[in-house]
Amino acid sequence: MNTINASPYGTNKETAKNPLDVRIILAMLWVAGMLSSLNGDTYRLNDPVVLKSSLANTGAIVVTPGLLFVMALIFVGPIFMSVLTLTLKSPVSRWTNRILGIFYALAHLAFWALTLVNLSAGRVGIYEIVWYTAQLVLSWLVVWYAWKWHNVEA
Q: Please state the domain extents for the chain.
A: 11-152
pLDDT attached to residue 84: 96
Backbone angles phi, psi at 130, to 5 degrees: -60, -50
Backbone angles phi, psi at 120, to 5 degrees: -65, -25
Per-residue pLDDT of 72-111, as tens digits, reads 999 999 999 999 999 999 999 999 999 999 999 999 999 9
pLDDT attached to residue 3: 44
pLDDT attached to residue 99: 97
pLDDT attached to residue 7: 55
State the pTM of this model: 0.80
DSSP state of 123: S
Residue ranges, the chain, pLDDT below 70: 1-19, 60, 151-154
